[in-house]
Structure 1
Amino acid sequence: MRLIFIRHGEPDYANDCLTENGKKQAESTAVRLKDEDITAIYSSPMGRAKETASYTAKNHDIQVENLDFMHEINWGDKNKSADSANKLPYEGHPWTLAYRVLTDADECAENINWAEHPFFKDNTCMDFYEKISTGLDDLLQRYGLVRKNKLYECIEENADTIALFAHGGSGAIMFSHILNLPFPFVLTTMPYGVCSVSIINFDGRKGELVIPRLELFNDMGHLEQFKEEKLHFEK
């Protein structure tokens, strides 16, 4: 089974839709994916993701299924009563805090226990991390893949190719969870652009453990024009 992940096109965030250039990007992405044998198309429930997905759905004559759990993430301090000295810096912005976690302290150098760091442990983004991770595992189970020992057991072989349209934050959680990569690492070292195409391959035999393989990441070669995005942690 293959999962094609596409981030939405250039957004009009205020109206949760695509800009005119974003629409052109979505159309180019649909052309990029026209020869893929896509059997199902999923999307975040947000307007900019659904609008991007609609172009590919039309080309493949497939209805888009909304996945509520792939909604873009929010962040902030869970401890509303904390005094100013103990509040999360940068209003809990995960990308900026990820940079801090990786660079500030020796004990975080290996990046193993990132979820226990106060920057994330007390951050509302972790509620999204749990929700998205659980939702993804439920989705993959539909395709014969059951989470086991941080990998996936193939209980039924499946050759489907599915497409998932979502966001920078919810997609980062997807890569972190499926590929077993620390979330701060993904946020800082794996930026991906609007309408970028990434592919995760779950090829495996029934009864065996599957190690998901990143087949393609951040392919934007099909886009004629896109804005250079500032890295999220450069605030």
Structure 2
Amino acid sequence: MKLIFIRHGEPNYDIDSLTEKGWREAEYLSERTSRWDITDIYCSPLGRAQDTAAASLKKLDRKAVTCDWLKEFDSPIVDPQTGKQVLPWDRKSDYLNTHPELFDLDGWHQSPDMISGNLKENYEYVTAKMDELLVKYGYRRDGYRYLTEKNTHRDDVVVCFCHLGITGALVSHLINVTPHQLWQGFFLAPTSVTVLGTEERTPGEAYFRCQMMGDTSHLLLHSEPVSVYGSFTDPFQG
């Protein structure tokens, strides 16, 4: 199967919708998604994701299933230096350099400030929901792999309109790395497309492999600049 995560367009967080640019991005995205043979579409309940999906749904003449667990990953943590709450994917290099456990598959959630944000509980909740959804298509989690059956929907294409943080959390689970490796190591621009595909090299055993991460070719095709939202440096525009 193909599992596709799409981040919402450039956001207007004040009204939980899109900027004028974000609406353009969503329209250009819809030209891309309208050419896909999509099995099912799921969407975050938040306005910026719903508005991004709307253009694609109109072109496809489809409806999306709204899933509460696809909303932005809601686990702010306490910054020990300032005492203020921050997003777990906004940590600076000095913090990451002194907390190697963040890159340990078994220990990333054990530092005191990570515990302060209930990261482990929330991560286990959203990843369990992802696994519950995948059972519908014939993929059942077993350790670090997924077991399949004869009736597994191997050709299905499933699209999720959601957010940067939740995409990092879910993809990390699917490919068996810590979420911090994706949160800190990858930038997912507004309306970017991330594609995972299943590989079943041993019959009955499937692994997810990332085929595309944060692709914005639909924007470049229309000479629409890639938005900086979610990055701390200017995105490459080529």
TM-score (norm 1): 0.86
Verify the 8 A CA contact 2:10 2:19 in the aligned structure 1: yes
Secondary structure of 1:94's aligned partner: coil
Candidates 134, 140, 144, aligned match of 1:146: 140
Verify the 8 A CA contact 1:145 1:152 in the aligned structure 2: yes
State the Cα distance separating 1:29 from its structure 2 match.
0.6
Q: Which consecutive residues of structure 2, in runs of 5 or more, have no partner in the other structure?
A: 234-238
Q: What amino acid is the match of 2:191?
A: C
Alignment partner, residue 30 of structure 2:
30
The reply on whether 1:131 has 2:125 as its aligned counterpart is: yes
Verify the 8 A CA contact 2:196 2:208 in the aligned structure 1: yes
Q: What amino acid is the match of 1:45?
A: P
Alignment partner, residue 81 of structure 1:
none
State the Cα distance separating 1:97 from its structure 2 match.
3.9
Verify the 8 A CA contact 1:101 1:184 in the aligned structure 2: no
State the Cα distance separating 1:168 from its structure 2 match.
0.9
Secondary structure of 2:231's aligned partner: coil
Query: Would the alpha carbon gap of residues 101 and 147 (structure 1) be closer, same or farther in structure 2, given more than 3 Å must change?
Result: farther
More moved, 214-223 vs 127-136: 127-136
More moved, 199-208 vs 169-178: 199-208
Q: What amino acid is the match of 1:148?
A: D
How far does the alpha carbon of each residue in 1:29-80 deviate from its partner, in whole angstroms, 9 at most, with x for none? 11112221012111001111011111111222211110111111223459xx
Candidates 162, 169, 174, aligned match of 1:166: 162
State the Cα distance separating 1:93 from its structure 2 match.
2.6
Query: Would the alpha carbon gap of residues 21 and 77 (structure 1) be closer, same or farther in structure 2, given more than 3 Å must change?
Result: closer
Query: Would the alpha carbon gap of residues 232 and 75 (structure 1) be closer, same or farther in structure 2, given more than 3 Å must change?
Result: farther
Candidates 101, 110, 118, aligned match of 1:108: 101
Secondary structure of 1:116's aligned partner: coil
Alignment partner, residue 182 of structure 2:
186
Secondary structure of 1:96's aligned partner: coil
Q: Percent of pairs identical after alignment?
A: 28
Alignment partner, residue 197 of structure 1:
193
Secondary structure of 2:14's aligned partner: helix
State the Cα distance separating 1:91 from its structure 2 match.
1.6
How far does the alpha carbon of each residue in 1:167-200 deviate from its partner, in whole angstroms, 9 at most, with x for none? 0111111111111111111111011100001111
Q: What amino acid is the match of 2:44?
A: S
Query: Would the alpha carbon gap of residues 104 and 90 (structure 1) be closer, same or farther in structure 2, given more than 3 Å must change?
Result: farther
Verify the 8 A CA contact 1:29 1:56 in the aligned structure 2: yes
Query: Would the alpha carbon gap of residues 136 and 100 (structure 1) be closer, same or farther in structure 2, given more than 3 Å must change?
Result: farther
More moved, 67-76 vs 10-19: 67-76
Query: How many residue pairs align between the two structures?
Result: 226
Query: Would the alpha carbon gap of residues 232 and 134 (structure 1) be closer, same or farther in structure 2, given more than 3 Å must change?
Result: farther
Q: What amino acid is the match of 1:157?
A: T
State the Cα distance separating 1:154 from its structure 2 match.
1.2
The reply on whether 1:208 has 2:201 as its aligned counterpart is: no
Distance 1:151 1:100 in 2: 34
Map residues 73-84 of structure 1 onto 2, 5 A cutoff: 73-76=73-76
Verify the 8 A CA contact 1:6 1:166 in the aligned structure 2: yes
Distance 2:102 2:42 in 1: 36
Verify the 8 A CA contact 1:17 1:48 in the aligned structure 2: yes
Q: What amino acid is the match of 1:137?
A: D
Distance 2:34 2:53 in 1: 13
Q: Which consecutive residues of structure 1, in runs of 5 or more, have no partner in the other structure?
A: 79-83
